[in-house]
Amino acid sequence: MILKNKARIVTDQQPHINVEAVLTESERAALHDFMHHYPDPRAASLDSLKHVQKRNGWVDDAQVNAIAQVLGISIPDVEGVATFYNRIYRQPVGRHVILLCDSIACFLMGNESLADVFKKQLGIQYGQTTPDGRFTLLPICCLGNCDKAPSLMIDEDTYGLVSRAQVAEVLEQYL
């Protein structure tokens, strides 16, 4: 069967990104520095994503493409790392990200009722950001803090043995 005018061009070329317009000079320098730490530039993907994420709190598609171009690797390679790691955010998040652990240890120690208190006090559900942009609430599969369950993390601070009564006190620390 001959398909007239139905042929499509398949290419492995990546779209050209104006890296200077997407990444700052210091971000580009950091990415080049990361590449020198690893024998394979793909290994620098996570460090690069974390570094670029610091500017806006998340990484958009243009930044993923620019990182791929700087590292000389494919966009799917960078996208794969970005979507695998649950602390690389691919959409805007609040100024503070609350990660509530839902591992089996936290589940057994009452993470669901703790999550209900957070949701009620913040007025949001998992995956949402408060209207003032202050908090984003997300579940996380394990924080490795099982001996202090239920656990949560806000930004880089880890809390353990958190009770329902302590939620307001914890949130007040992030004004």
**Residue ranges per structural domain of the chain:** 19-84, 96-173
Known binding residue 106? Answer is yes
pLDDT at 74: 94
The Cα–Cα gap between 65 and 130 comes to 29
pLDDT at 125: 98
Residue 69 has pLDDT above 60, yes or no: yes
pLDDT of residue 12: 60
**141 annotated ligand-binding residue:** no
Side-by-side strand order, sheet with 135-140? 135-140, 96-101, 152-154, 157-159
Fold exhibited by the domain 19-84? Arc Repressor Mutant, subunit A (1.10.10)
Cβ atoms of 150 and 110 closer than 8 Å: yes
Residue 14 pLDDT class (50, 70, 90 cuts): confident
Sorting pLDDT into bands at 50, 70 and 90, what band is 106?
very high
pLDDT score for 9: 56
Q: What percent of the chain has pLDDT over 90?
A: 89
Per-residue tokens: 123 = 């007025």
Sorting pLDDT into bands at 50, 70 and 90, what band is 15?
confident
Task: Write out pLDDT tens, residues 26-51.
Answer: 999 999 999 999 999 999 999 999 99
In 3-state terms, what secondary structure has residue 97? strand
- pLDDT: which is higher, 2 or 174: 174
Q: What is the structure's pLDDT at 4?
A: 55
Residue 5: the pLDDT is: 54
Rounded Cα–Cα distance for residues 115 and 120 (Å): 9
- Region 129-154: what's the mean pLDDT? 96
Considering only CA atoms, give the Rg of the chain: 20
6 has a pLDDT exceeding 70: no
C-alpha triplet 1, 6, 75: angle, nearest 5°: 120
With 0-12 / 13-18 / 19 or more C-beta atoms within 10 angstroms meaning exposed / middle / buried, residue 60 is: middle
Write the CATH number of the domain with boundaries 96-173. 3.40.30.10
142 labeled part of a ligand binding site: yes
